[in-house]
């Protein structure tokens, strides 16, 4: 099997996790890392990465890279994707696909124009519990799913204290809606919308009620009501206001109900998983999505979630913003 030479662009929070997973994957060689932060590059150097770049364009010019994993701030997604496509690098792009729907279309067009593969990072699509739920829904085990409730709350970019270690600085771009494209509905909501589209088909209509607890220009909580092509009515409840992490789907069917969660395991449990499997169950979906991306490159499959998936999610979010409810 051909070894995939991977370049990582952006090794901040999520990029660093991808780097660790990429180093664990068989048939993957991380040949280069680019990041504008010197400390991020130093961390990458600590993992034995030899080719380190402050400017990602230099990484893209490297002939040692077959594919790139882009984990940059959202406003840089289009520019970086376009440059990567132009030089024929396959692309794994972190969600959300872009700041706006128009930019998302350009991202897809760039990948198509230069015939490179484009995958959008939605790790929950690789969570085995959600995948089983998909099968159960598709196989009619739940009957007609009349309603579904999705909850995803955490502290988002405002990382809370975890037993004494210091809080993380929040990069300025997070506070600028022009650079993010929105608030929590973009950041967390896109995961939920993507999952629900996997379960119930396309969104026919959506309305949203947005909360501004932190007095910023972007919403820090959102409750959306969505109707799917399957007929399911769903609530999408997302927030950055909670110190406690919760990601849960409740499905109410005419035959059975189902609840699936994605939660960090207790520390000792996670430690045991790390020692036995090298990875905790919480991060397994991230590992699997990267593994799948590499499989697609090796076997010449078109990966999913595709750019079109990312675009659809952004269109739904855009519609929810337009159909804002006041209660």
Residues found near another protein in the complex (CB under 8 A): 13, 16-17, 20, 158-170, 172, 175, 213-216, 243, 264-265, 267, 270-271, 274, 279-280, 282-283
Query: Could you tell me the smallest distance in angstroms from the CB atom of residue 25 to another protein?
Result: 15
Encoded tokens for 323 = 């159909």
Contact criterion met (CB below 8 Å) for 226 and 118: no
Residue 149 per-residue DSSP state: E
Give the shortest CB-214-to-another protein separation in angstroms: 4
Tell the residue number behind the tokens 């999913």, with chain if given. 304
Kindly list the strands in the beta sheet with 90-94, ordered across the sheet, starting from the edge strand earlier in the chain.
51-53, 28-34, 4-9, 67-70, 90-94, 118-121
In the complex, what is the shortest distance from the CB of residue 166 to another protein, in angstroms, rounded to a whole number?
Answer: 6
Q: Given strand 233-239, what is the order of strands in its sheet?
A: 203-211, 221-228, 233-239, 145-153, 246-253, 257-261
Nearer to another protein, 213 or 322 (CB): 213
Q: Are 194 and 309 in contact (CB under 8 A)?
A: yes
Q: How near is the Cβ of 86 to another protein at its closest, in Å?
A: 33
Residue among 55 and 128 whose Cβ is closer to another protein? 128
Shortest Cβ 267–another protein spacing (Å):
6
Give the phi and the psi of residue 190 in degrees, each rounded to 5. -65, -35
Between 109 and 274, name the residue whose CB sits nearer to another protein. 274
Q: For another protein, give the closer residue by CB, 20 or 82.
A: 20
User: At CA 190, angle to CA 245 and CA 288, rounded to 5?
Assistant: 75
Q: Report the residue number, 199 or 238, with the smaller CB distance to another protein.
A: 238
Q: Toward another protein, which CB reaches closer, 56 or 240?
A: 240
Q: Are 96 and 78 in contact (CB under 8 A)?
A: no
Give the number of residues written for the chain: 327
CB of 51 to another protein, least distance (A): 22
């Amino acid at each position: 099997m051909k070894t995939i030479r991977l370049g990582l662009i952006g090794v901040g929070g999520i990029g660093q996790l991808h780097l660790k997973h990429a180093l664990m994957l068989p048939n993957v060689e991380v040949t280069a890392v680019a990041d504008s932060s010197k400390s991020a590059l130093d961390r990458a150097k600590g993992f034995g990465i030899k080719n380190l770049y402050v400017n990602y364009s230099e990484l893209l010019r490297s002939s040692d890279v077959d594919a790139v994993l882009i984990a940059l701030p959202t406003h840089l997604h289009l520019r970086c994707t376009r440059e990567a496509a132009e030089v024929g690098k396959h692309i794994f792009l972190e969600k959300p696909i872009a700041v706006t729907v128009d930019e998302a279309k350009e991202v897809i067009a760039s990948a198509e124009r230069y015939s490179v593969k484009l995958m959008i990072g939605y790790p929950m699509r690789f969570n085995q519990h959600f995948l089983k739920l998909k099968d159960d829904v598709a196989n009619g085990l739940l009957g007609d799913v009349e309603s579904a409730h999705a909850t995803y709350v955490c502290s988002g970019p405002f990382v809370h204290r975890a037993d004494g270690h210091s809080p993380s600085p929040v990069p300025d771009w997070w506070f600028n809606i022009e650079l993010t494209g929105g608030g929590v509905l973009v950041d967390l909501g896109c995961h939920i919308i993507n999952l629900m589209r996997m379960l119930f088909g396309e969104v026919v209509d959506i309305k949203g009620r947005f909360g501004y607890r932190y007095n910023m220009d972007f919403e820090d909580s959102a409750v959306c009501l969505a109707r799917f092509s399957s007929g399911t009515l769903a609530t999408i409840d997302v927030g950055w206001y909670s110190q406690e992490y919760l990601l849960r789907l409740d499905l109410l069917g005419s035959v059975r109900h189902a609840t699936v969660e994605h939660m960090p395991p207790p520390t000792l449990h996670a430690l045991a998983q790390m020692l036995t499997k090298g990875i905790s169950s919480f991060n397994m979906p991230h590992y699997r999505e990267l593994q799948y991306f590499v499989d697609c490159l090796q076997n010449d499959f078109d990966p999913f979630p595709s750019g079109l998936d990312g675009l659809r999610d952004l269109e739904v979010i855009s519609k929810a913003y337009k159909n804002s409810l006041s209660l």
